[in-house]
Amino acid sequence: MTKEKKSALQEKGGVSISEITNRKSIENLKQKRKVKLDAKTLLTDILQGDVAALSRGITLVESVNSKHIAIGNKLLKTCLPYANKSIRIGITGVPGVGKSTFIEAFGKHLTSQGKRVAVLAIDPTSSITKGSILGDKTRMEALVKDENAFIRPSPSGHSLGGVARKTRESIVLCEAAGFDIIIIETVGVGQSETTVHSMVDFFLLLKLSGAGDELQGIKRGIIEMADAIVINKADGDNEKKAKFAANEFSRALKLYPEKESKWSPKVSVCSALNHVGITLIWSMITDYICVTTKNGHFDIKRQKQNKFWLIQTIESQLKSDFFNQPKIKKALESQLILIENNHTTPFAAAEFLLKLKA
Ligand code: GDP
């Protein structure tokens, strides 16, 4: 027989006080939830830096439910005047390079200086593997507990374009919630670095020291995008190798033409695990902000990014409007069969379908 725990607050034969309190708080919670799903209340709470409201706001903009999308759009519009005030930093590198260890050390360094840090992740692998490389691990445990940090893993199962659009919208909400630094993290898969590059002010590439031929196997274009290359795990036996790799990268970077921003990308080493080299990386980023603010490039880059995202948003909207029309869906199916049987060409089928659109 199980012995029932008696409480001094328990009333004989009735409902316990804790039960009543529980019920009340559930009711309160339900009530609160209901109220907070309207854009105006959410905005007020987000502007006060309420992270629960921020989470709810991001869930709304990530939603595919049309009612939620409508509230999300309203919320975004009202948050826009409060956006634009953070420093947006992109961090990329292959799985295992130490991104989460680095972001944890870097994030803690910033919060110890009184800054509020938001971490958003774009994980293109999630749509392919249905699991998330970024989300599966217990990551950034200390930062998660830090009240000045906000960490949001990426939604899984979306196309990279979809995830990226939501990430841009999430940046706006984080800025409205008063976050000073927004870190966008991604693994170096597919187009993900280009996507992240197009939404950040500073782009940091994390690398490991290799077998000496450091530039081998590096994806084309990534060096041009990087504002800094940081060789991580520069500790123990690896320290010497990391410094050697850093020298090699520095020499290679000198061969690249000067960037529009007039910023010459920096190379540095760090040990994210031992929190060594983190301060230097932050001062490198503040130097960058200083240089590009002075020469006007900081604003020019953000304007260019906004123009790029305007076109991207129109393209994706047109595409989804087209493919979601029932008559297009039906006609597309029959055109695909015709193609399979060599009864039409892709061009003729496309022309036919495009003429059908509303
Ligand atoms: P991610 O996949 O890029 O996010 O990499 P993680 O941050 O999860 O790190 C992968 C592994 O490398 C973990 O076992 C970390 O403890 C280790 N690691 C990360 N940074 C360092 C470092 O600076 N030095 C050493 N020795 N190990 C590190």
Q: Whose CA is nearest to atom 18 of ligand 1?
A: 98
The most confident of the ranges 29-33, 125-129, 184-188 is 184-188
**273 and 171 share one domain:** yes
Q: What is the pLDDT of residues 159-168, one digit of tens each?
A: 555 667 788 8
Cα Rg for the chain, rounded, in angstroms? 25
Find where tokens 């830090």 sit.
146
Has residue 29 been placed in a domain?
A: no
Q: How far is it, in rounded angstroms, from Cα 248 to Cα 211?
A: 12
- Which of 257, 199, 192, 245 lies closest to 219, judged by CA? 192
Q: Give the domain range for residue 108.
A: 84-299
Confidence tier at 14 by pLDDT (50, 70, 90): very low
pLDDT at 99 over 70: yes
Residues 97 and 242: beta-carbon distance below 8 Å = no
Note whether 180 and 115 are within 8 A (CB): yes
Asked whether the predicted pLDDT for residue 203 surpasses 90, the reply is yes
**β strands within 10-169, DSSP E:** 87-93, 117-122, 149-152
Cα–Cα distance, 240 to 232 (Å, whole number): 12
User: Which of 82, 97, 120 is the last residue before a domain boundary?
Assistant: 82
Ligand 1 pocket, 99 CB below 6 A?
A: yes
Residue 10: C-alpha distances to residues 14, 25, 97 (Å): 8, 18, 55
232 touches ligand 1 (CB under 6 Å): yes
Whole-number Å distance, alpha carbon 223 to ligand 1 midpoint, is 22
pLDDT digits (tens, 9 = 90+) for 340-358: 999 999 999 999 999 997 6
187 lines ligand 1 (CB under 6 A): no
Clarify whether residues 207 and 318 are in a common domain. Answer: no
Q: What is the pLDDT of residue 18?
A: 43
227 and 287 both lie in a single domain: yes
Q: How confident is the model over 139-163, as a mean pLDDT?
A: 76
- For the chain, how many structural domains are there in total? 3
CA distance linking residue 266 with residue 285, whole number of Å: 10
Averaged pLDDT for residues 168-172:
92
Give the CATH number for residue 136.
3.40.50.300
Ligand 1 centre from 123 Cα, in Å? 18
Say what percent of the chain tops pLDDT 70.
79
More confident call, 221 vs 353: 353
Domain contains 352: yes
Task: Specify the DSSP element, H or E, that contains 185.
Answer: strand 181-187
What pLDDT score was predicted for residue 17? 39
Give every CB contact of residue 103 below 8 A, 6+ residues apart in sequence.
Answer: 91, 119, 140, 143, 183, 185
How far does the centroid of ligand 1 lie from the alpha carbon of residue 248, in Å?
Answer: 22
Which atom, in ligand 1's list, is nearest to the CA of 232? Answer: 23
For 307-319, the pLDDT digits (tens) are 998 898 888 788 8
Which pLDDT value is given to residue 350?
Answer: 96
Q: Quick check: is 9 in a domain? A: no
Q: Is the pLDDT of residue 215 over 70?
A: no
Percent of the chain predicted with pLDDT > 90: 53
- Mutation pick for ligand 1 pocket among 206, 273, 274, 275 (CB with most ligand atoms within 8 Å): 273
Residue 93 pairs in a beta bridge with 187
The answer to whether the CB of 16 falls within 8 A of the CB of 10 is yes
Q: Is 271 in the pocket of ligand 1 (CB under 6 A)?
A: yes
Number of H helices, E strands in the chain: 16, 7
Q: Specify the higher pLDDT residue, 162 or 186.
A: 186
**Dist. CA 92 → ligand 1 center (Å):** 13
pLDDT on residue 224: 83
> How confident is the model at residue 256, as a pLDDT?
85
What atom in ligand 1 is closest to the CA of residue 137? 8
- Per-residue pLDDT band for 286 (boundaries 50, 70, 90) equals very high
Distance 97 CA to ligand 1 centre (A): 6
State whether 103 and 219 are in the same domain.
yes
Ligand 1 and 97: CB distance under 6 A: yes
The model's pTM is 0.82
Domain membership flag for residue 2: no
